[in-house]
Amino acid sequence: MAVARSHPFAGPSDLHLHSNHSDGTETPAEVVRQAHAHGVRTIALTDHDRTTGWQEAAQQTAALGMTFIPGMELSAKHEWRSVHVLGYLFDPLDDSLRAETDRIRGDRIGRAERIVRSIGRDYDLVWDDVVAQTTPDATVGRPHIADALVARGIVRDRTEAFDGILHPREGYYEPHYAPDPLTAVRLITDAGGVAIIAHPVTAGRDRMMPVPFIERLIAAGLGGFEIDHRENTDAGKRALHALAAEHDLIVTGSSDYHGAGKPNLPGENTTADEMVARLIERATGSTPTYA
Ligand code: AMP
Ligand code: FE
Ligand code: FE
Ligand code: ZN
């Protein structure tokens, strides 16, 4: 596909990967090296509610002749649903966005401590076990509690933890503070970024937001949907493609790589060159790092 000369990125592009600055298991540089080893040439690092991995990732992509697109996966909530909004190429120094991510990360810590205290009444688990599984200042999530349960020999891996003890039905689950998706989209857009709903049509309790609400997000500046993601259902993908065509939105595909924390591998889904170019053209908050 022809790509404008002003955007000299090379595909394949994987626009959703996590490092140990949130709940991935590898450093940003390792994530980049893994992506390169899997044939990916343009990546976005999208840690939850945090941008501190960008610099290290950008240095490593430059060293490997790759393109780096700064990103983040902003936590949001619609009614009971956890909604993840990917933000790309926004200004990382934007005051409003920073205040919101600070608030989310702060609340995630207290929430994780409450979950651990609750689990600790039935299992041999204490907060220090979780601290041992996180890097300083990492965005703390249930995956770190899962790693602590693995280290204690209570479960085999993150998947078993999420299917069991960490599942809401077991009674230990607690939500954390997160803004409404409308606020999330506006914060990213106002910071010069492009907002893309991550894995919008997963099966189960987090199933798709109602279409009228998605249309309000579009009116508020939503840029598009992450459609090619292993957790999206086939029926959901078809519905999203129709909605994207109707509103001329950007569609992306990504791995949602978490290192050893999930089976997802870099490049297992990719984003079309034309769509990457549209992201870059639309954004005003920051720029990709080209090799
Ligand atoms: P939290 O935001 O703390 O509620 O944790 C949700 C995060 O856990 C998601 O962003 C995923 O990265 C991760 N996650 C969800 N389900 C699983 C699973 N089955 N195995 C591994 N990680 C998971
Ligand atoms: Fe995650
Ligand atoms: Fe997510
Ligand atoms: Zn993710």
Nearest to 48 by CA among 95, 83, 12, 96: 83
Q: Interior CA angle at 159 toward 256 and 224, to 5°?
A: 25
Model pLDDT, residue 107: 98
Confidence of residue 5 (pLDDT cuts 50, 70, 90): low
Report, as an integer, the average pLDDT of 93-102: 98
188 CA from centroid of ligand 2 (Å)? 19
87 has which bridge partners?
72, 195
Residue 199 near ligand 1, beta carbon < 6 Å: no
**pLDDT of 218 above 80:** yes
Which listed ligand is nearest to 256 at the C-alpha? 4
Confidence of residue 205 (pLDDT cuts 50, 70, 90): low
- Write the DSSP string, 184-234: HHHHHHHTT-EEEESSTTBSGGG----HHHHHHHHHTT--EEEEE-TTB-H
Residue 223 near ligand 1, beta carbon < 6 Å: no
Report, as an integer, the average pLDDT of 48-56: 98
Tokens of 128: 């220090």
Residue 16 near ligand 1, beta carbon < 6 Å: no
What is the CATH number assigned to the segment(s) 106-170? Answer: 1.10.150.650
Model pLDDT, residue 4: 52
Report, as an integer, the average pLDDT of 160-174: 97
Indicate which atom in ligand 1 lies nearest the CA of residue 163: 19
* Percent with pLDDT over 70 in the chain: 98
**pLDDT of 241 above 90:** yes
Residue 141 near ligand 1, beta carbon < 6 Å: yes
Q: How far apart are the first and last CA of the chain?
A: 20
1 CA from centroid of ligand 1 (Å)? 34
Indicate which atom in ligand 1 lies nearest the CA of residue 111: 3
75 has which bridge partners?
84
Q: Are 196 and 224 in contact (CB under 8 A)?
A: yes
**pLDDT of 17 above 60:** yes
5 CA from centroid of ligand 2 (Å)? 34
Confidence of residue 204 (pLDDT cuts 50, 70, 90): confident
If one residue of 16, 17, 23 were mutated to test the ligand 1 pocket, choosing by the most ligand atoms within 8 A of its CB, it would be: 23
Confidence of residue 8 (pLDDT cuts 50, 70, 90): confident
**pLDDT of 136 above 80:** yes
265 CA from centroid of ligand 3 (Å)? 15
**pLDDT of 206 above 70:** no
Q: How far apart are CA 203 and CA 114, in angstroms?
A: 27
Model pLDDT, residue 97: 98
Residue nearest atom 15 of ligand 1, based on CA coordinates: 162
Model pLDDT, residue 6: 73
**pLDDT of 3 above 80:** no
Residue 162 near ligand 1, beta carbon < 6 Å: yes
Indicate which atom in ligand 1 lies nearest the CA of residue 84: 10
Tokens of 104: 């989310």
Residue 258 near ligand 1, beta carbon < 6 Å: yes
Residue nearest atom 20 of ligand 1, based on CA coordinates: 159
Report if pTM > 0.85.
Answer: yes
Model pLDDT, residue 280: 97
Domain layout of the chain by residue ranges:
15-101+178-282, 106-170
- Write the DSSP string, 18-29: --TTTT-SS-HH
**pLDDT of 228 above 80:** yes
Residue 159 near ligand 1, beta carbon < 6 Å: yes
CATH of range 15-101+178-282; options 1.10.1040.10, 1.10.20.140, 3.30.70.1110, 3.20.20.140: 3.20.20.140
Q: Cis link prior to 168 (omega < 30° from 0)?
A: no
* Cα–Cα separations (whole angstroms), residue 280 to 105, 235, 274, 288: 27, 29, 10, 8
Listed range (171-185, 203-217, 225-239) with the worst mean pLDDT? 203-217
**pLDDT of 249 above 80:** yes
Indicate which atom in ligand 1 lies nearest the CA of residue 175: 4
Confidence of residue 291 (pLDDT cuts 50, 70, 90): confident
Q: What is the overall mean pLDDT for the chain?
A: 96
Report, as an integer, the average pLDDT of 197-223: 92
**pLDDT of 1 above 70:** no
- Contacts of 237-240 with CB under 8 Å at 24 or more apart are 237/201, 239/201, 239/208, 239/211, 240/200, 240/201
Report, as an integer, the average pLDDT of 244-255: 98
Answer yes or no: same fold for 15-101+178-282 and 106-170.
Answer: no
